[in-house]
Amino acid sequence: MFRLVASKAPLSNIAARNAAAKTVRAPVATSLFRFYSTPADTEYDVVVIGGGPGGYPAAIKAAQQGLKVACIEKRGSLGGTCLNVGCIPSKAMLNNSHIYHETKHGLKSRGIDVGDVKLNLANMHKARVKAVTGLTRGVEFLFKKYGVDYVKGTGKFRSATEIEVAGLDGSESVLKTKNAIIATGSEPTPIPGIPFDEKRIVSSTGALELPEVPKKMVVIGAGVIGLELGSVWSRLGAEVTVVEYLDAIGAGMDPELAKTFQKLLAKQGLKFKMGTKVNSAEVVGEGVKVEVEGAKNGKTETLEADVCLVSIGRRPYTEGLGLENVGIELDNRGRVVIDSEFKTNVPNVRCIGDVTFGPMLAHKAEDEGFAVSEMLATGHGHVNYDVIPSVIYTHPEVAWVGKNEKELKDAGVKYRVGTYPFVANSRARTNDDTDGMVKVLVDAETDRMLGVHIIGPNAGEMIAEGGLALEYGASGEDVARTCHAHPTLSEAFKEACMLASSGNAINF
């Protein structure tokens, strides 16, 4: 279902601004890439607080439409958690650890004999940093290209139209603006009584930067972050135990895929303690002792490890924003309360991304950044929250978009299922990478696509076709009748749609 929104008070002189957007404004030379003081007569159309995956696209999109924009970022490096200490560096580590593991264990069966394979963790970290640095510099270039004033410092509301900035260089200034966008993101949630020291008890940030491979690692939380980073260190040689309070891994995942996923990860060497809560964790000497308890039987156990990764979720980050100075409302979970137009209870202040409602996903924040800037410039914009994909970048990858079976059953929707295994797919066979399946859910009466769930090679890339099908209301038959190149992994999606639509596939 689309969320269509229209602003009741779009900015004046939009036509002129849109015309101006066809040419790139020259950036203010003194303001880019360092802190600066704004002249008293300077007023921005939009000031974005936060330069992460929601904030920087919002700033660029607004500037492309002719608005005068500044973006405040306290990290001193654009891209937010995602680019600096989240999505991007973790994918670098996931990819490189997979290559290492395959080289060490998986090449002989492919006819490739190699000598003694050694891990150079320092160089692997350098590769991670290189990926991050290249992308952060790329965003800075885009700010320069589109005339976004990049302000390095911490923003704080003085009023609804004035934002104090404490610069990273120690200076202070005030930005005047007609509109503000809060895009400050989120931070790791600690367990009460178990503080992060980022050496022995680490958040995702610390887990990305471990100087050596731990012999034993305990991961608290079997969500996306815990499973991805647990997989990284398992491949590199750590003995990894995942502790999860719930009875299934991957919150939000289709139950059938979750069971398959856990079996595949266990086959790779990860150990799981499901239905288990953590009572305490403390650093003892050169390690960590974690006391856990069965949620049902009450049996306690002490796990010993070199490193404990706490990955139980994230929480909105609003510290130091000065929201109390303008009376911006938060809910009981610390999220900024917004309406369907991203407006807070202060009409000219809007909010997007992790710091407000919805899944904490970079691509969700990005779409909201586009939409909120379109609203400010043109009076309309939208985000379709029913078609936001989720991906876990382990091996195999897991990806899904739309509804799962439990959600459809709970809603009383009649549906059909088409499940096609990768073992029957030609390209998966040639790649000797056949674990997993594609599962498609369609409406039993109309054949309209309701959900797509994939576990297998390149699932994160394949899910885009499922999202496109859902976005445009495609039926199972629509996809089944669309020619897919052979041999490709995408043929598994086509055949799953054939099964869901007609009950028959060709190769299974």
Instruction: Return the closest-CA partner of residue 49 out of 336, 385, 383, 375.
Output: 336
Q: Which of 105, 380, 395, 486 is catalytic?
A: 486
**Three-class DSSP category at 241:** strand
Q: Is the pLDDT of residue 312 over 80?
A: yes
User: Whose structure tokens read 């369609």?
Assistant: 442
- State the pLDDT confidence band at 2, using cuts at 50, 70 and 90: very low
Q: What is the phi-psi region of residue 468: left when phi exceeds 0, alpha when psi lies from -120 to 50, beta otherwise?
A: alpha
pLDDT, tens digit, for every residue of 326-358?
A: 999 999 999 999 999 999 999 999 999 999 999
Helix runs in 150-254, H state only: 204-208, 224-235
Among 350, 353, 34, smallest CA distance to 186 is for: 353
pLDDT tens digit string along 392-421?
A: 999 999 999 999 999 999 999 999 999 999
Report residue 435's pLDDT band, with 50, 70 and 90 as the boundaries.
Answer: very high
Is 484 one of the annotated active-site residues of the chain? no
Residue 225 has pLDDT above 60, yes or no: yes
Helix (H, G, I), strand (E, B) or coil at 231: helix
Is 184 annotated as contributing to ligand binding? yes
Q: Is 460 annotated as a binding residue?
A: no
**By 3-state DSSP, what share of the chain in percent is helix, strand and coil, each rounded to 5?**
35, 25, 40
Predicted pLDDT of residue 330: 98
In this structure, the strands spanning 307-310 and 201-202 are parallel
Query: Alpha-carbon distance 203 to 309, whole Å?
Result: 6
Instruction: Spell out the residues 6+ positions from residue 283 whose beta carbon is closer than 8 angstroms to its own.
Output: 197, 200, 201
Q: DSSP letter at 223?
A: S
Residue bearing tokens 């050596």: 212
Q: In 3D, which of 1, 6, 2 has the Cα closest to residue 341?
A: 6
Residue 483 CB neighbours (<10 A):
6
Whether 405 has a binding-site annotation, put simply, is no
> Is it the case that residue 238 has pLDDT exceeding 70?
yes
185 is in an annotated binding site: yes
Lowest mean pLDDT among 6-15, 163-172, 297-306: 6-15
**Is 222 within any annotated ligand binding site?**
yes
Q: How far apart are CA 497 and CA 484, in angstroms?
A: 12
- Enter the pTM of the model: 0.91
Asked whether residue 186 is marked as a ligand-binding residue, the answer is: yes
Q: Is 334 annotated as a binding residue?
A: no
- Asked whether residue 228 is marked as a ligand-binding residue, the answer is yes
Instruction: Identify the burial level of 263 via C-beta atoms within 10 angstroms of its C-beta, where 0-12 means exposed, 13-18 middle and 19 or more buried.
Output: exposed
Q: What does the pLDDT read at residue 14?
A: 33
Q: Quick one: which H or E segment has residue 495? A: helix 491-502
41 is in an annotated binding site: no
Distance from C-alpha of 157 to C-alpha of 224, rounded to nearest angstrom: 34
244 labelled ligand-binding:
yes
How far, in Å, CA of 279 to CA of 302, rounded?
Answer: 10
Quote the mean pLDDT of the chain: 93
Listed residue (182, 132, 172) closest to 152, CA to CA:
172
**What is the Cα–Cα distance from 169 to 34, expressed in whole angstroms?**
8
Residue 239 burial (10 A CB sphere; 0-12, 13-18, 19+): middle
The DSSP result for 2-30, as a single string, is -EEEE-SSPPTTHHHHHHHTTSPPPP-TT
- For residue 30, what pLDDT is reported? 33
CA dihedral for 223, 224, 226, 227, sign (positive or negative) = positive
**What is the spatial distance between Cα 236 and Cα 120, in angstroms, rounded to a whole number?**
10
Residue 211, number of CB atoms within 10 A of its CB? 8
Contact 227, 242 (CB under 8 A): yes
More confident residue, 127 or 22: 127
Q: How far apart are CA 84 and CA 95, in angstroms?
A: 17
For residues 368-373, average pLDDT? 98
C-alpha closest to that of 463 among 496, 429, 501: 496
Which domains are delineated in the chain? 3-80+148-187+315-386 (3.50.50.60), 82-128 (no CATH), 201-312 (3.50.50.60), 396-502 (3.30.390.30)
Q: What is the pLDDT of residue 204?
A: 98
Is 229 labeled as ligand-binding? no
Which pairing describes strands 3-6 and 307-310: parallel, antiparallel, or unpaired?
unpaired
Confirm or deny that 363 is annotated as ligand binding: yes
pLDDT at 79 over 50: yes
224 carries a ligand binding annotation: yes
Return all residues near 318 (Cβ < 8 A) that are at least 6 apart.
182, 184, 330, 334, 336, 355
Contact 394, 208 (CB under 8 A): no
How far is residue 236's CA from residue 118's CA, in Å, rounded to a whole number? 10
Read off the pLDDT of residues 253-288 as tens digits, 9 standing for 90 and up.
999 999 999 999 999 999 999 999 999 999 999 999
Query: Which strand (E) or helix (H) includes residue 492?
Result: helix 491-502
Annotated binding residue 147: no
Quickly state the pLDDT bin for 239 (edges 50, 70, 90).
very high
pLDDT band at 42 (very low <50, low <70, confident <90, very high): confident
The pLDDT score that the predictor gives to residue 41 is 56
Candidate from 105-109, 438-442, 447-451 with smallest mean pLDDT: 105-109
